[in-house]
Structure 1
């Protein structure tokens, strides 16, 4: 079960995990809030989710490609 959970978190861009870590709450709670807000607002948080996923991927790419000054 834990392997399935880790696979789903990786394939879902890790946005809820990232937000949960930053806010200091469990990622499961962030997912539940996201689902509830999506139902109430007819799915508009999906745009925010995709923007954050894009931002996290760009951030990881920049960190990986940046070389330290001393090299």
Structure 2
């Protein structure tokens, strides 16, 4: 089961891992809170998840494009 969740996290956006690392929580607790929030609010956190994943991928792409501030 651990291998399956690792595969999903690496192949998907990795937003839960990034948030857990930034906030200092375990990845499992962030995932569980996302799932519980989705059940209680009828799936509305899914929209926030996709928005966060989009923003994270945009930031990653911008970092890969320019290595320094002085590159034009």
TM-score, normalization by structure 2:
0.86
Alignment: residue pair count:
70
Query: Which residues of 2 match residues 1-71 of structure 1 at below 5 A?
Result: 2-68=2-68, 69=70
Q: Which runs of 5+ in 1 are unaligned?
A: none
RMSD between aligned residues: 1.6
Unaligned runs of 5+ in 2: none
TM-score of the two chains, using structure 1 as the length reference: 0.87
Structure 1 segments of 4 or more deviating over 2 A? 1-6, 67-70
